[in-house]
Structure 1
């Protein structure tokens, strides 16, 4: 069985590809290796994947319609897992066009590939950012998400709408995953836990936004990968009994489904920093700043549906997850 993983050199894509290869799948990895963050880290991830004969890599910009079409035509694809995207809330404030190019046009080309060369299941990355101005917690997929507070969030909401359109028109089974603050070894340097670790070790101050009054549903990478693997062969089916008079936004009459995938346990930012300090063995110098535009005060996933449908159960405690990350960081960055 062949699975396309877009963003295979990225954080989640790397870990997922590694697990799929261990399970015996043939993985076709796609990435454009852009320099949103250090491309050397992406290349080092790829080196590990390329040691497996069942891994095939294509460097590609998914916004290139002809290249994406040729890829689908060349390979017999069973499942597509679309993780490639221009990430980052704050970056969207200064580079808005990147989000249209990657997150909208790139996703459209993936949808067209799945239409022209039918696949069993398209799983794609959405984000907890879609909850935007919502304040009712935990965030539920049954709640409306019509008030994004960043262009990044708006692009992910758009992906969900685009996926539903293709599920409706072309009967493509699509599953969207709203990720909640994923962390772990080989992570993204633009994420706070990564930059905190670097700055604490180097003795630099760390910026703590909203004066520390924030909480995040930190989710360890192994738990995320486990959830995605559980969904591989569980494509959504048409639901003729779906209530159009009282439509729930996370499901449909079409083969379409949305899930939160998080830890269901928000951690206060200052508690998170304290745990990180303990794992590093060094105190942080904190600079308290106001809330940044586009940020939200809390993320908190209701994972009832994913638990019920596939038995998803995140099991990695923050202490264990951060210890794993810090150990990897020191080995990767501080090696002699």
Structure 2
């Protein structure tokens, strides 16, 4: 005989006695329906808003009604738990709704120009009354600019983070960390102005007979400036999460510090480092102001990132969205969808590569 049966002889031990009463699904749905109905009557009866206000007021009334009904059935403690759980689920749904709306809008409006012409032609010799034209030149520009920026920013960012975590001590490390934090918040147009004043106006004339030279490489430099602090900060945080005993075990076996970092610390933190790098790449791919300032944009295809104006997908979207042609909005939406799809493909590929490296270790 259990302790509860000894203290309460008249009570029979059943699952219902142990778990207590539970609020039924029908009652839960009934509370939700009544809350929405009352909210609709109040909002539309007083003419103070639309369906968004009905949903917000209905949620508040539902939480209050759920707390009352669940408190009568399950008890106050279980009722509070149910209310907070519902609030968390509601917040999650509200956070996902904007993302779902953006994805649906991109797909629905961007599907109009998903054809071979869009991906194989440029805007060269395309007038306002021409329905054709594509973003091939912008896709090439984005891949080259973001690729060069990644090659420049990733090694510098990872090595800077390794220094801050493994070697950095004293005032110099604090100074480096401070400037990295400052660079994280600088506007993208400031990075474009820096590269414009330094590279385009000072350095490029040396290689171009004294004339300033716009180029995709200049845009890549500006994007690398924007990517660098994100990579440093994310990599630093991932390296700090690597357990100390892994380093200590390697040192106890006589492994040098540089080899411990390369063979143990970096592979352990690789998934997080890849995530930070992909966040930086996504930000760089969507920047418009730096590309406009130092690459200029072009309607024709330019495969050479070191000479001549060059387009990018973000700049293409910006220009087409402001074009007076009735065919321009469709191009802008399809280019935006292409940019999102490109970043998604790169992210998935990087995640799979990082996972494969983890499995082969």
* Length-normalised TM-score, structure 2: 0.23
Larger helix proportion, structure 1 or 2? 2
Larger strand proportion, structure 1 or 2? 1
